[in-house]
Amino acid sequence: MIRSIEAFSLILSKTLFHMTRLQIGDKAPDFNAVIQDGSSISLSDFSGKKVILYFYPKDMTPGCTAESCNLGENYTGLKKKGFEIIGVSPDPANRHLKFIEKYNLPFSLIADEDRAVIEAYNVWGPKKFMGKEYDGVHRTTFVISEKGIIEKIFLKVKTKDHSNQILESYE
């Protein structure tokens, strides 16, 4: 019996760790971070604007490319609805710049190599892929209000249709 309780506890703790501790209605953690061109950006730069802050594991990978391109292709429509977009991954600035140029992305990508923003939003933790366990970024999107409050959290991101997933949540 003890073994099954320990196993359940371990599974539960891993499951909970995958989810951010932040909740809808919380003040979004501010940050000051480097973007693709080496300049800095902070959440407070977007005060008065609605922000889509999306976290993804790695540039140039299939799911991350699909998600970023979907947001990029729908950027004009999202802007018309009042959204700004910022992507975050632990990739370095020069890799982000190549990613932006290759896919013509019209928004900034934070180069969070020290994981300060990733950890502030609690989207780093254990993952499993092809039977291997490792720590990494959990694909998560936060929609932050004009006043810096978290309005929406997407833990199950539809990479190929993320723009619609966000817009439909406001209908």
Please pick, among 64, 110, 143, 166, the residue that the annotation labels catalytic: 64
69 part of the active site = no
- Say if strands 83-89 and 150-154 run parallel, antiparallel, or are unpaired: unpaired
Helix, strand and coil in the chain, % to nearest 5: 40, 30, 35
Beta strands in 43-157 (DSSP E): 50-55, 83-89, 108-111, 124-129, 132-137, 140-144, 150-154
Q: What is the distance between the alpha carbons of residues 168 and 153, in angstroms, rounded to a whole number?
A: 13
Active site residues: 64
